[in-house]
């Protein structure tokens, strides 16, 4: 470390100890708003892997409490041995990734029908927790036993829930099929209960206590193709996520998710092909929004939640072909495990689930936007570790991404870098004002990287992950692959992460009005408040203790001493130890 002049060893030691302890009382300086945010996130912080919980957690319902905890509830279908059935298993999680088993919702089976409890839907309503559930007869051969939907309540999300009996069964409504798969929505003060059974998706208004239905309010919103409805509102539309296909034939199941939307809760709903959802009567006949890939099959029947970034997440069940096909030693039930994927949105407000509309093996975690930015917003040359800058070979739609050694005045090799709310980035070429993307949202290795006008699809979104050596990898949100050089050529394609230099990039600030990167920082300092003082020393988008430590350690660096106007936090027209302590006040 370069020894700053004019600062004695005890002062340096006390300063660094104070930074490490998250306090500055040791040197007599008052601190406010202390933050210990890291400058970059580790792989454990920014990613997760599917499946999240198994081997048996189907039809999940998700709800988040005011303290930030997520609660999940699931079916536990018709185990061969009655004692093996859990009466609505409950999980909790602080982050949607790590789940803890909390017990069962019921102390004993609801008494109005001897059956298995399916498809719970849990909400907090009017000061209590409300659980809607389907009860399916354990004796399938008794035609006189009628499945239906019941309701129960609890003072806490982990129960126990007190059953209030049957709410709605087959003989209570004019529609065919079985009364299962409840989903509750309250809109403008009116409580609604939706249900679905592969004989239509229906809705009825409930009484204020949610324990009776209003018999004159039945309606239908979708055809015979669907069960497992999820209904939520976003950006002026109501969205219907429906499961279609065979749920329960193990790895041969054909389940998938189709989507409709409407400007009204009660419809009419249309899919993205423009077909009314009421006309969808055949399994797997509509536009697929979440389907199979090589490893994960039959995704569906889930719930939607929102993280602190405002990002929507779909929690659902699916099979992992690298895991068990069945959850029970006796051949039933099928091993439908808990999965989760982010919902991206196109510029015309249609959802893209999981980036490529299949379950992710690994993906960036929820609340990523709450973590420190790996790269601050700004204009950069993005330089490959093998040499050359990321550029495009033209200004028109579809111009290919290349690496070039052109001079510093070429704006085709400059990029506006902007962090989006979910933690991913938009990389916009300065010359063309178009976004970097993978061509045609291709998910294969070797697919071409190009530019195209911004349309919000995840193929135009990039996660920037610090490699720990001052370089970053650019991960495409659609494919999960990394931007890399194509062999010995100058073309840029996507490939699986190998760690080679051709996948490593640095960000060199173009803004000549500010200072260059300091020390080992990959990014140039930034001025978060626009007051001319560059308090974000490391260029990660925030002012933290890391910035104080970096300024202290690099106090005699030429970049600091030759640019006193940017770092004169003490206002004495010089840069010294007083500026380090003053910067500490900003943290």
Residue 227 neighbours by CB under 8 Å, 6+ apart: 180, 181, 196, 197, 198, 242, 243, 244, 247, 301
Yes or no: say if 222 and 243 are a contact pair by the CB < 8 Å rule. no
CB-based contact 451:459 (threshold 8 Å): no
The CA distance from 260 to 242, in Å, is: 8
The confidence band for 41, taking pLDDT boundaries of 50, 70 and 90, is very low
Q: What are the DSSP calls for 344-403, one per residue?
A: EE-TTS-EEETTTSS--SEEEPTTGGGSPPSS-SEEEEEEETTS-EEEES-SSTTPBEEE
Residue 342's nearest CA partner among 299, 303, 373, 311 is 311
How many CB atoms are closer than 10 A to CB 92? 16
Query: In the predicted model, is pLDDT for residue 84 greater than 60?
Result: yes
Contact 366, 313 (CB under 8 A): yes
**Beta partners for residue 325, in sequence order:** none
Q: What local confidence, expressed as pLDDT, does residue 9 receive?
A: 39
| DSSP percent split of the chain into helix, strand, coil, nearest 5 | 15, 35, 50
Q: What is the mean pLDDT of residues 194-205?
A: 97
Identify whether the C-beta of residue 318 lies closer than 8 Å to the C-beta of residue 301.
no
Residue 197: count of CB within 10 angstroms of its CB: 21
> What is the radius of gyration, based on Cα positions, of the chain?
28
pLDDT for residue 329 = 66
Q: At residue 38, does pLDDT exceed 80?
A: no
Average pLDDT over residues 110-114: 91
Over residues 154-188, the pLDDT tens digits come to: 999 999 999 999 999 999 999 999 999 999 999 99
pLDDT of residue 341: 98
Average pLDDT over residues 298-326: 97
SS3 assignment, position 548:
helix
The dihedral region occupied by 395, where left means phi > 0, alpha psi between -120 and 50, and beta the remainder, is alpha
> Which is more confident, 557 or 291?
291
- Rounded Cα–Cα distance for residues 307 and 314 (Å): 11
Q: Tokens 């209590």 sit at which residue?
A: 128
Q: What is the pLDDT of residue 425?
A: 97
Q: What is the pLDDT of residue 78?
A: 61
| pLDDT over 90 at 518, yes or no | no
* Cα of 322 vs its chain's centroid, Å: 24
Cβ neighbours of residue 536 closer than 8 Å, sequence gap 6 or more = 376, 525, 526, 527, 528, 542, 543, 547
pLDDT top residue among 27 and 214: 214
Summarize the confidence of residues 33-50 as an average pLDDT.
Answer: 50
In angstroms, what CA-CA distances link 495 with 79, 149, 153, 447, 475? 44, 49, 51, 8, 9
pLDDT at 149: 98
Q: Nearest 5°: CA angle at 459, between 453 and 465?
A: 115
Tokens of 126: 């009017």
pLDDT-based confidence at residue 520 (cuts at 50, 70, 90): confident
pLDDT value of position 141: 63
Nearest to 338 by CA among 49, 48, 53, 47: 53
DSSP state of 326: B
Least confidently predicted of 382-386, 495-499, 516-520 = 516-520
Task: Report pLDDT for 23.
Answer: 39
Residue 123 has pLDDT above 60, yes or no: yes
Q: Give the pLDDT confidence of 444-487 residue by residue, as tens digits.
A: 999 999 999 999 999 999 999 999 999 999 999 999 999 999 98
pLDDT digits (tens, 9 = 90+) for 406-453: 776 788 999 999 999 999 999 999 999 999 999 999 999 999 999 999
pLDDT on residue 7? 36
Alpha helices in 481-575 (DSSP H): 545-553, 558-561, 564-567
Residue 33, SS3 per DSSP: coil
At the top level of CATH, the class of 57-364 is: mainly beta
Is residue 515 predicted with pLDDT exceeding 90? Answer: no
**Predicted TM-score (pTM) of this structure:** 0.82
Is the Cβ–Cβ distance between 199 and 170 less than 8 Å? no
**DSSP state, 37?**
-
Tell me whether residue 532 is exposed, middle or buried, using C-beta atoms within 10 angstroms of its C-beta: 0 to 12, 13 to 18, 19 or more: exposed
Burial of 167 (0-12, 13-18, 19+ CB in 10 A): buried
Share of the chain above pLDDT 90, in %: 70
Q: What pLDDT was estimated at residue 39?
A: 25
Domain ranges (residues) in the chain: 57-364, 378-509, 513-586
The secondary structure of 220-287 as a DSSP string is EEE-TT-EEEEEEEETTEEEEEEEES-SSSGGG---EEEEEEESSTT---B-TTS-BGGG--STT-S-
pLDDT score for 330:
59
Find out whether 84 and 328 touch, Cβ atoms under 8 Å: yes
CATH topology (fold) of 378-509: Trefoil (Acidic Fibroblast Growth Factor, subunit A) (2.80.10)
Rounded Cα gap, residues 166 and 356, in angstroms: 41
CA distances from 53 to 344, 366, 548, 566 (A): 23, 17, 41, 50
Mean of the per-residue pLDDT values for the chain?
Answer: 89
pLDDT of amino acid 66: 95
pLDDT confidence of 140, banded at 50, 70, 90? low
Mean pLDDT of the region 556-585: 87
């Amino acid at each position: 470390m370069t020894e700053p002049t004019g600062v004695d060893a005890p002062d340096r030691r006390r300063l660094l100890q104070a930074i490490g302890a998250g306090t500055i009382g040791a040197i007599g300086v008052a601190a406010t708003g202390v933050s210990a945010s890291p400058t970059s996130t580790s792989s454990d912080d920014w990613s997760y892997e599917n499946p999240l919980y198994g081997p048996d957690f189907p039809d999940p319902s998700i709800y988040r409490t005011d303290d930030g905890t997520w609660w999940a509830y699931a079916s536990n279908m018709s185990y061969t041995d009655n004692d093996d059935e859990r009466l609505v298993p409950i999980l909790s999680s602080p982050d949607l990734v790590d789940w803890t088993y909390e017990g069962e919702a019921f102390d004993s089976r609801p008494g109005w029908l001897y059956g298995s409890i399916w498809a719970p839907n849990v909400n907090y309503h009017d000061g209590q927790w409300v659980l809607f559930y389907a009860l399916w007869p354990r004796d399938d051969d008794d035609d006189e036993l009628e499945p239906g939907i019941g309701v129960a309540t609890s003072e806490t999300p982990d129960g126990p829930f007190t059953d209030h009996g049957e709410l709605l069964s087959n003989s209570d409504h004019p529609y065919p099929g079985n009364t299962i798969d409840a989903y509750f929505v309250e809109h403008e003060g009116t409580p609604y209960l939706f249900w679905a059974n592969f004989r239509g998706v229906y809705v009825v208004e409930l009484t204020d206590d949610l324990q009776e239905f209003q018999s004159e309010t039945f309606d239908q919103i979708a055809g015979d193709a669907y069960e497992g409805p999820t209904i939520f509102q976003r950006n002026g539309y109501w969205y219907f996520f429906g499961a279609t296909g065979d749920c329960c034939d193990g790895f041969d199941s054909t389940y998938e998710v189709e989507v409709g939307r409407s400007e009204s809760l009660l419809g009419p709903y249309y899919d993205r092909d423009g077909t009314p959802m009421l006309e969808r009567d055949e399994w797997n006949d509509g536009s697929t929004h979440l389907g199979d890939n090589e490893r994960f099959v039959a995704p569906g029947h889930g719930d939607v939640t929102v993280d602190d970034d405002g990002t929507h997440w779909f929690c659902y069940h699916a099979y992992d072909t690298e895991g068990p096909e069945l959850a029970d030693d006796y051949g039933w039930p099928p091993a439908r495990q808990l999965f989760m994927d982010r919902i991206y949105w196109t510029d015309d407000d249609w959802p893209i689930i999981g980036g490529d509309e299949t379950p992710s093996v690994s993906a960036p975690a929820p609340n990523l936007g709450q973590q420190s930015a790996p790269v601050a917003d700004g204009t950069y040359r993005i330089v490959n570790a093998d040499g050359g800058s990321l550029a495009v070979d033209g200004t028109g739609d579809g111009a290919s991404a290349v690496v070039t050694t052109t001079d510093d005045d070429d704006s085709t090799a400059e990029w506006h870098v902007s962090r989006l709310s979910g933690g991913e980035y938009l990389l916009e070429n300065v010359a063309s004002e178009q976004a970097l993307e993978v061509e045609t949202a291709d998910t294969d290795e070797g697919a071409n990287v190009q530019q195209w006008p911004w349309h919000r699809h995840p193929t135009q979104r990039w996660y920037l992950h610090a490699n720990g050596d001052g370089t970053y990898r650019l991960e495409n949100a659609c494919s999960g692959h990394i931007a890399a050089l194509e062999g010995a050529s100058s073309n840029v394609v996507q490939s699986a992460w190998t760690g080679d230099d051709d996948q490593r990039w640095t960000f060199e600030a173009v803004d000549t009005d500010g200072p260059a990167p300091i020390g080992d920082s990959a990014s140039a300092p930034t001025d978060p408040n626009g007051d001319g003082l560059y308090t974000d020393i490391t260029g990660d988008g925030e002012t933290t203790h890391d910035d104080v430590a970096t300024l202290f350690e690099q106090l005699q660096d030429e970049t600091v001493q030759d640019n006193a106007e940017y770092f004169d936090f003490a206002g004495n027209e010089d840069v010294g130890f007083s500026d380090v302590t003053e910067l500490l006040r900003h943290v």
